[in-house]
Amino acid sequence: MALSGKIALVTGASRGIGRAISMRLAAMGAKVHVNYVAGAAAAEETVELIRGQGGVAEPCGFDVSDPAAVKDAVAGIIDADGRIDILVNNAGITRDGLMMKMKEEAWDAVLDTNLKGVFTCIREVMRPMMKARSGRIVNIGSVIGFTGNAGQVNYAAAKAGLVGLTRSVARELASRGITVNGVAPGYIDTDMTSGLPDGVKEAILAQIPMGGMGTAEDVAGAVAWLVGPDAGYVTGQFIHVNGGMYMG
Ligand code: NAP
């Protein structure tokens, strides 16, 4: 198995895309630390699904937007397992609304989770990865970070910021054998999109050449490739998984 013996941390892995990524990495042989913030029961379900398929996983609750909690959690994993080989920054939230009406709290919450949380998680894992002179980091962006979207200035800014962050850290860590890449999903069937009004869903689907929504497994497949043996010379890149919705 391609990831046999590897230790992975996947943030926001209790459900949706993070769960699918965790299950895929575990199926490839990695031990997966399944992060969540509020959904302890859902995270436990992810862990059980992984164990049910013969994999190894542990739940790992912490808030990615709380730097002290991130530091403690990463230190705990390193204490227990000796290292982190793979970090997937997947945790994300939306607080949508037109800019005219957007409260600062909605801006701060999205930036703190979707962008600062990624900065903090990478900062905590980079030192041990640098020591090991190897590591794989994958940041889950969004098509919205490339196109922008009315009603999502906070989300689009955070996801666009993630592109600059990814490329900059990729440059900083390349000489240490660490790759840093991103995956930018389009319109994927998860809790994040299930609440959108039918009219909005139809408008999005009309912009997708492949005509339908993607699945969490479609995104997990791209992550699996980036952390696997075939992507060792790939860094600073974003893979778009969007059915042709945006062609970067
Ligand atoms: P989701 O179903 O809403 O799941 C979000 C996950 O993030 C949950 O596991 C949640 O944990 C976790 N989370 C939220 N805030 C957190 C925090 N502060 N600390 C730790 N974990 C936190 O979302 P999804 O659709 O799978 O999205 C996953 C990623 O893909 C996000 O970065 C999202 O922006 C991106 N994305 C999604 C789509 C899409 O169409 N679905 C498109 C483009 C990009 P709890 O269960 O504990 O709340």
What is the DSSP secondary-structure string of 150-214?
Answer: TT-HHHHHHHHHHHHHHHHHHHHHGGGTEEEEEEEE-SB-SHHHHTS-HHHHHHHHTT-TT-S-B
User: Relative to the CA of 16, which ligand 1 atom is closest?
Assistant: 26
Angle, CA 10 vertex, CA 155 and CA 127 arms, to 5° = 95
| Cα dist from 165 to 10, 176, 197, whole Å | 18, 17, 32
CATH number of the structural domain spanning residue 140: 3.40.50.720
Ligand 1 atom with least separation from CA of 61:
20
Instruction: State what percent of residues in the chain have pLDDT above 70.
Output: 100
Q: Which of 192, 204, 202, 13 is nearest to 95 (CA)?
A: 192
Please tell me the residue having the least CA distance from ligand 1 atom 34.
92
Write the DSSP symbol of residue 230.
G
Whether 1 is in a domain gets the answer: no
Q: How far is the CA of 232 from the centre of ligand 1 (A)?
A: 27
Is 63 touching ligand 1 by the criterion CB < 6 Å? Answer: yes
Instruction: Please indicate, yes or no, if residue 199 is contained in any of the structural domains.
Output: yes
> What is the average per-residue pLDDT within 4-32?
98
Which of 23, 66, 90, 246 for mutating ligand 1's site (highest number of atoms within 8 Å of CB)?
90
Q: Which amino acid residue places its CA nearest to atom 23 of ligand 1?
A: 192
Is 242 domain-assigned?
no
Domain-embedded: residue 63: yes
Q: Is residue 48 within a helix (H) or strand (E), and if so which, with residue range?
A: helix 40-52
Does any ligand 1 atom lie closer than 6 A to the CB of residue 92? yes
Q: List CB contacts of 159: < 8 A, sequence separation 6 or more.
A: 114, 141, 142, 144, 145, 184
pLDDT at residue 248, as a whole number:
82
Q: Which residues contact 90 (CB under 8 A, 6 or more apart)?
A: 10, 11, 12, 13, 17, 18, 21, 140
| Residue 155 designated active-site | yes
- pLDDT value for 184: 98
Question: Sign of torsion, CA 62 67 72 76?
Answer: positive
- What global pTM score does this model have? 0.99
Domain that holds residue 148: 7-237
User: Would 243 be classed as within a structural domain?
Assistant: no
Residue bearing the CA closest to ligand 1, atom 44: 142
Measured CA to CA, the distance from residue 245 to residue 119 in angstroms comes to 28
| Number of folded domains that form the chain | 1
Which of 155, 187, 233, 246 is the catalytic position? 155
- Average pLDDT, integer, range 163-188: 98
Cβ of residue 190 lying under 6 Å from some atom of ligand 1? yes
The answer to the question of residue 245 being in a domain is: no
- How many Å lie between the centroid of ligand 1 and the Cα of residue 193? 10
Q: Whose CA is nearest to atom 10 of ligand 1?
A: 12
* Both tokens assigned to 207: 């912009």
Q: Where does residue 104 rank: exposed (0-12), middle (13-18), buried (19+ CB within 10 A)?
A: exposed
Over residues 79-133, the pLDDT tens digits come to 999 999 999 999 999 999 999 999 999 999 999 999 999 999 999 999 999 999 9
Average pLDDT in the 172-195 region?
97
For residue 207, name the pLDDT band (cuts at 50, 70, 90): very high
> Quick check: 93 and 140 in contact, CB under 8 A?
no
Ligand 1 midpoint to CA 36 (Å)? 9
Nearest to 223 by CA among 163, 183, 178: 183
pLDDT in tens, 124-165: 999 999 999 999 999 999 999 999 999 999 999 999 999 999
Ligand 1 pocket residue status of 158, Cβ below 6 Å? no
